[in-house]
Every structure is written in structure tokens, then in C-alpha cells.
Structure 1
Amino acid sequence: MALSIRDVQPHDLDSVLALNNAAGSTILPLDVAGLRGLYEEASYFRVAEVDGHIAGFLIALREDARYASPNFLWFRAHYPEFVYIDRIVVARPYRGLGLGRVFYADVTSYAETHVPQLACEVFLEPRDDVSLLFHGTWGFLEVGQQTMPSNGRRVALLAKTLCSYPFVRDTYLHGPTGRLPDLPWLGERVRPNVAVRGARAAGGA
């Protein structure tokens, strides 16, 4: 099995939309406009390819994203800097291969060099114990609950403190250069709307 994790490309979006809307009740459906908005706003949007086929994706956003999700807005109201995992989907034929853990290792590697918190939510209605256990083993703790106004479903709001971030912040982001080393794996995703919004200052919104 040949596996690669790479940044999403425009030609991937039809496949991503189909995967999202076939994922079941634990993933909120998207339309073309909604996915396009995430494509433009996400600071992390990567797909997994297995033997040349898109097998899954993960989308995450920084705290300054233009995004109206009530769960994202809850975290914005409580944390000044964070990476919010909006959704992760693995296609049914590729489940059980550990792609979820591969994605979480990758997004954690991104987040811990930029922010102090990694955040997400898990549905409690219906209760998703598999996802709750998965996130617990990754060090997430429940920091709140709320009911989503769009569908009346209750969610657990989870956050993970990234213990590596203080070293990165003090040594690099707040250090002599004010920036991370110029290495490909530390680079920010180039978003389509970056020219309109302007570049984000190092280490903050």
C-alpha cells in the first residue's frame, strides 16, 4: 500500500465533497459553496492518497478564519489562539488502516508549531463513543458542551494543550527572528484568498 498525505488541490474538491456527504450522521453535510469556503479559509486542508486514490481528508482552521460554525465560534470566544479541526473523513474502504491516527499526527505536528491549543468537537447526540475514546487517547479533554442551533444536537467541545508550543513560541516566534525556520514542513498553507486578507503575523492572528 502506497500512502501519502498532501495539501488538497482544486481538482480534488469534487472527490472531497462526495466523501464528506457519504460519511454518515457524524459528519455534517456540505454543498459546493460550503466546501469552497472551507477551501479558502482552512489553514490545514490535506488529503490522504492510497495507491493513487483519495482515501480521506482533514480540514482545520485558525482562530481568525471567516467561519460561522457555532462550535468554531465557541472556541474563538474562549481561546485567543488555536487550530480547530472542523472535520475528518476516511472513506469506508480505507477504514481500519490507521488513517485517522496518521491525520491526527500530521495536524498535531502542524498545530504545535503555531498555536497552544488544538480543538474539535464530538457529537453526544447520538453519542459517538468511538470518537470520544479516539480523542481521549490523543490527549483531548472536554472543555465544554453546547447544543447546535441548526439541528439541536449536543456536542462535547474538546481541546488539547500542545506542550511543545511554549518552546517554539519562546525560541522562534518571540525569539530574535520572530519566525519559524524556513523549512517546507513548517510552512503555512497558501490559501486562495491570502492576497485579499493579507498575511498573518507570525505566531498570532
Structure 2
Amino acid sequence: MSIVVRDVREHELDSILALNNAAGPAILPLDAARLRRFFDTAEYFRVAVRDGTLSGFLVGFGSESGHDSSNFRWFGERYERFFYIDRIVVASRRRGGGLGRAFYADVQSYAELRYPQMACEVFVEHDSDPARVFHGSFGFHEVGQHVMPGTTDEPSGIRASMLIKELCSYAWVREHYGDELPNAPWLTRPRPPAPAPHRATGT
């Protein structure tokens, strides 16, 4: 059985929306408008295709993206530069088959060239022990907890375990290449850089 991780395609958004909203309480629901914002602005938005079937996706944002998640802002208040995994979703029938590990290997190979840390969260209330073990096995550790205040897109009162992983390759890459990575296909961004949001400035 083959697993292919590749960039999302626009015609797949309806399938991704259905996959997200069938994932259960450990994943925040999406509507079509927010998913479209992800498609338009996420730095990393890739899908996993197993045996020809779309079976999961992962969405991530760099620390300068201005992403509007309260969990993203929590990290932004504490860390200068990081890559944030907003969500990873794997179809229920494919869980335990290696898709999550394939995604994390892929996203780390992208992030460690550009960011010193990778961040994500696991909701505490929803049988989170398997997710904690999974993330711990990848080197994530808890750096605090955050209760989501509630917004149009996020329900309030959900407590999240905030996780960070140090990306040890970043310092070496920065020392030797700075922002000018070699011109090789596997080093290119999976998607164009997310446009920086307009911020009003005042005096």
C-alpha cells in the first residue's frame, strides 16, 4: 500500500471539509469559508493519498503569518519564530496505518529548514492520551496549557496542552545557507509564501 503526501488541490476542498467535520471532538469543525482561508493563506497545506484515496491532511502556518487562531497567538506571545501545525486530520478508517507519521516526517523536513521550533496543541478533554503519546514520540513536550477564549471560529472553554519541538537542524542550516537554500525540488516550499496580513500602524 502506497502513501503519497503532496500539495492540496483546489477541487479537493469539499472532500477535506467533510473529512475534517467527521473527525470528532478532538478536531475543531470548519466551514467552507474558513477552509478557503486556509487554502489561500496557509504556508503548508498538504494531503495524504493512500491507494489512490484522499485519506488525510495537515495545515500549518509560519509565525509571521498573522494566523487568527487563539492557540497560534498563545505561541506568538511566547516564541519569536516557530512553525505552527493548526490541524492534522486522518480518516478514521486509516488511523493507525502510518499516515500521521508520514505527515509529521514531511512537515518536519519542511519546517526544520526555516524555523527553530515546531508548535501544536492537543485538546486535554477529549481522550488525549493517544495523541500525547504520539506527539511525545516525535519529541514534542508541553510548555503550558491554554483555555481557548472563544471566537467566531473557535468554541470557548476548551483546554489545550501546548506543545513545542525544538528543530535541531535549523541552526546548522541558518549558519551555512541563511535564507538562500540550494535549488533542489525537495527544498522548495510546498506552497507559495502566505501573504502577510495588512496591519494598521499608529502613533
Same-fold status (TM-score > 0.5): yes
Contact kept, 8 Å, 2:44 with 2:191, in 1: the verdict is no
SS in 1 for 2:113: coil
- Within the candidate set 144, 161, 165, 2:166 is matched to 161
CA distance in 1, matches of 2:59, 2:164: 16
Structure 2: gaps spanning 5 or more residues: 151-155, 198-203
Residues 192/145 of structure 1: CA separation in 2 closer, same or farther (3 Å cut): closer
Is residue 2:175 matched to residue 1:170? yes
In the other structure, the counterpart of 1:73 is 73
CA distance in 2, matches of 1:99, 1:156: 22
SS in 2 for 1:78: coil
Taking the TM superposition and a 5 Å limit, the aligned residue runs for 1:1-205 are 1-150=1-150, 151-173=156-178, 178-191=179-192, 194=195
Residue 190 of structure 1: how far off its partner (Å): 3.2
In the other structure, the counterpart of 1:202 is none
CA distance in 1, matches of 2:111, 2:194: 21
In the other structure, the counterpart of 1:200 is none
Structure 1 stretches of 4+ with a deviation exceeding 6 A read: none
Kindly provide the amino acid, as one letter, of the partner of residue 17 in structure 2. L
Residue 127 of structure 1: how far off its partner (Å): 4.4
CA distance in 2, matches of 1:189, 1:104: 14
CA distance in 1, matches of 2:16, 2:81: 27
Deviations 1:153-193 (A, max 9, x none): 111110000011100010001xxxx4100111111233496
CA distance in 1, matches of 2:3, 2:56: 11
Contact kept, 8 Å, 2:43 with 2:194, in 1: the verdict is no
Deviations 1:130-164 (A, max 9, x none): 10111111101111111011220111110000011
SS in 2 for 1:126: coil
Kindly provide the amino acid, as one letter, of the partner of residue 182 in structure 1. N
Residue 77 of structure 1: how far off its partner (Å): 1.2
Residue 66 of structure 1: how far off its partner (Å): 3.0
Residue 24 of structure 1: how far off its partner (Å): 0.2
Contact kept, 8 Å, 2:62 with 2:83, in 1: the verdict is yes
**Which stretch of the first structure deviates more once superposed, 63-72 or 12-21?**
63-72
Residue 6 of structure 1: how far off its partner (Å): 0.4
What is the identity percentage for the equivalent residue pairs of Structure 1 and Structure 2? 53
Structure 1: gaps spanning 5 or more residues: 198-205
Name which structure has the greater RCO, CA cutoff 8 Å, separation 6+.
Answer: 2
Kindly provide the amino acid, as one letter, of the partner of residue 183 in structure 1. A
CA distance in 1, matches of 2:100, 2:191: 24
Kindly provide the amino acid, as one letter, of the partner of residue 116 in structure 2. P
Contact kept, 8 Å, 2:7 with 2:191, in 1: the verdict is no
TM-score by length of 1: 0.89
Q: Say how many residue pairs are matched.
A: 192
SS in 1 for 2:80: coil
TM-score by length of 2: 0.90
